[in-house]
Amino acid sequence: MQIQVSGHQIEITPALRDYVEARRERLTRRFDSLTSLNVVLEVEKNRLANRAEGTLAAAGTVLHADAVEQDMYAAIDALFDKLDAQVRKHRDKQRSHGREDIRDLA
């Protein structure tokens, strides 16, 4: 999986990069056909908030989520929680697609 972490109005420290990498591992445990992840971290000075946006490319789909929190680490956590929910939903759709029992429809 290819991962890119960039910042807008913020310098990406090795600690932030490692934290994103550690959170990414949870996604790859759930779904193995993930191809790339693009994370943009941003400091919004007007609102005194931190924003994390993520775009995840998987086989056949692109998932996007963003989160705004007071703390950058909390924003990253919220971002990966949202992406994890989307990955679970996508995986469940793939598994159940076309496997309805005809007797259930009657």
Q: What is the pLDDT of residue 98?
A: 62
For residue 102, being part of any structural domain is answered with: no
Whole domain around residue 17: which residue ranges? 2-95
Q: Is residue 103 part of a domain?
A: no
Q: What's this model's pTM, rounded to 2 decimal places?
A: 0.85
Within a domain: 104: no
Q: How many domains does the chain have?
A: 1
**How many other CB atoms are there within 10 angstroms of residue 100's CB atom?**
9
Q: How many CA atoms lie within 13 A of 94 on its CB side?
A: 12
Q: What is the spatial distance between Cα 76 and Cα 9, in angstroms, rounded to a whole number?
A: 16
Q: Residue 56: which of 41, 77, 39 has the closest Cα?
A: 39
List per-block mean pLDDT (blocks of 10 residues) for the chain, which spans 106 residues: 91 95 87 88 90 91 94 96 91 74 53
Query: Is residue 101 domain-resident?
Result: no
Asked whether residue 100 is assigned to any structural domain, the reply reads no
Query: Is 22 a domain residue?
Result: yes
Tell me, yes or no, whether 71 lies in a domain.
yes
